[in-house]
Amino acid sequence: MNMKTYFILIFAFIFNLNASGQNNPPEFTSEPVTEVYDVELYKYLITASDLDGDSIAFIDIIIPEWLSFFNIERDTAYLIGTASQFFDSAYVNIGITDGTDTAYQAFNIYLYCPNCGISIFSEPVDTGIVNEDYEYNIYATNCDPMYYAIFECENLPSWLNLENVGYNMAVLSGIPGIDDIGTYEIIIRAYVPNSPCNNENFQLFDLKVLEKITSIYKSSINNFIIYPIPCKDRLSIIPGNEAYNNYNIKIYDALGRILLSVNNLRQCYKLDMSFLAKGMYVLEISDENNNVMLLDKLIKL
């Protein structure tokens, strides 16, 4: 063996000795699951490996309360659970060690709500009467039970007031005066402050303030022939001249909710009242431009 070969063997021995003394840290071989839908099961199979074949263990587990960690094997574990509360994101940090070196996998889990949103489901009361109480009870539904909706309305007329009265509820109320007769555009906004869903919704309607309603007591009113009064099953409406050959009919209940609407009528029309319960209603007749020509109380027998 010559001197050159001898030095090569010594160098290789020293190199192998140094290499055998170095430790390779463990590595995660799985990609984290970072999204979950509300009510659905979250499941992430965690896998890891060590190039040196060292025994490895999971340590320093940081997870939200709704998640559970299950160590299946030395290099395999499950992160599993169903979100028990609404959140924007949840922080997770998992460590793995071979006794010498430690590696970490940190990530956020983002919650998505498929039915996310807020909805105003109450029917607007769109008619107010001079010198009489107006009241519209507003109700909404919200996907996030941790928070409740707040209602607001800009540019309200001076006679109206909006008050938040409880969980997803508000009241729009007031008493209009004679000077308040007219039509107002009402835009109600419902939103959920501090909610990760950033929910909001709007309800838009026209609120009409009219003079006091008087009872129908004769069959010919404002050039319309209306009979029988009171009515039972059917109410006949006949326009008295050609100018009213295109008109609309609406029936309201005592709260101002529209129960029946028929548009673009010509000549005589027989209104079916059989589906209504006995009581007092409001009959509105308007022209093709929605100008009210008749607004009176109507008794159903």
Question: Structure pTM?
Answer: 0.42
Tokens standing for 51?
């190039």
As a whole-number percent, the residues of the chain with pLDDT over 90 amount to 30
17 has a pLDDT exceeding 70: no
CA-CA-CA-CA torsion sign (224, 256, 180, 140): negative
| Nearest partner of 237 among 210, 256, 260, judged by Cα | 260
pLDDT-wise least confident of 44-58, 210-224, 264-278: 210-224
pLDDT bracket for residue 264 (50, 70, 90): confident
Q: Which residue has the higher pLDDT, 297 or 9?
A: 297
**How high does pLDDT run on average in the chain?**
81
Per residue in 227-249, pLDDT (tens digit) is 777 788 888 887 766 545 678 88
11 has a pLDDT exceeding 60: no
CB of 34 within 8 A of CB of 62?
A: no
Per residue in 94-132, pLDDT (tens digit) is 999 999 999 999 999 988 765 566 788 888 888 888 888
> What domains can you pick out in the chain, each with its CATH number?
3-112 (2.60.40.10), 118-210 (2.60.40.10), 214-300 (2.60.40.3080)
